[in-house]
Amino acid sequence: MIIISILVLILIAGLFFALREKNMIIISILVLILMSGLLFKLIKGFIPFPIGLRHLINITIAPKDLYQPVALDDFSFYEQGFTKSYSVKPAYLDTYEIGFLIEKNGIESTYKFKGKIKVEFFWRDKFLFDSIITSMEQARYVQNDMTHYKEIVLFNFDVPLQGKYKNDLAVKLTVLEPDMELKRLSDSIKLYIAVSATP
């Protein structure tokens, strides 16, 4: 907020000077500086915007690391009782997804998730909420191959969680019912948590 106040004061001083000197170039430069500062603060999450609008802005601007997973790991979707926790350090306030990648040739596009996974969210070891995943939300095809999926999205969530938790987050996943069809892909399947690629 201090930076925005300083930028506004600089803008007002510049406008006063520009009007006095009738130099519109200074006004243009000051407006550009102000807009750049506001855009930076918007991207980094300092200005409160609805998460859907922020997601649209992030997709439009598309920073190079936007879709870089905050977690990428082996996960045994086919082993009942298997549990793993992940520290989530989001670089962007946005909609995130939990899913799995299938390396190599992907999985047949007739695949439907048949397991049951409990996902729990924590902030500084304090339990926030949980959900049960019983189906896939969407799938993405292998490039130039409409017969195989390369990614399966299981769950979406917004950061900040519950509108206020954005740092020191953790996600715990527990397989309640295994999806045995994924066992044959055990050497090529990876769980990921990343900004959602869906607009």
Long-range contacts of 47-52 (CB under 8 A, 24+ apart): 51/93, 51/94, 51/95, 51/158, 52/95
* Burial zone of 13 (CB within 10 Å; 0-12 exposed, 13-18 middle, 19+ buried): exposed
In 3D space, the residue among 133, 84, 115 whose CA is nearest the CA of residue 178 turns out to be 115
Whether this model's pTM surpasses 0.85: no
- In angstroms, the CA 63 to CA 160 distance is 19
- In angstroms, the CA 129 to CA 120 distance is 6
Question: What is the model's pLDDT at position 58?
Answer: 72
Question: What is the model's pLDDT at position 177?
Answer: 97
Question: What is the model's pLDDT at position 189?
Answer: 95
Per-residue pLDDT of the chain (199 residues), as tens digits, is 455 556 566 666 666 665 555 556 666 676 767 776 666 665 555 556 666 777 677 777 778 888 899 999 999 999 999 999 999 998 888 899 999 999 888 999 999 999 999 999 999 989 999 999 999 999 999 998 999 999 999 999 988 777 788 889 999 999 999 999 999 999 999 999 999 888 7
Question: What is the model's pLDDT at position 72?
Answer: 96
Q: Are 149 and 141 in contact (CB under 8 A)?
A: yes
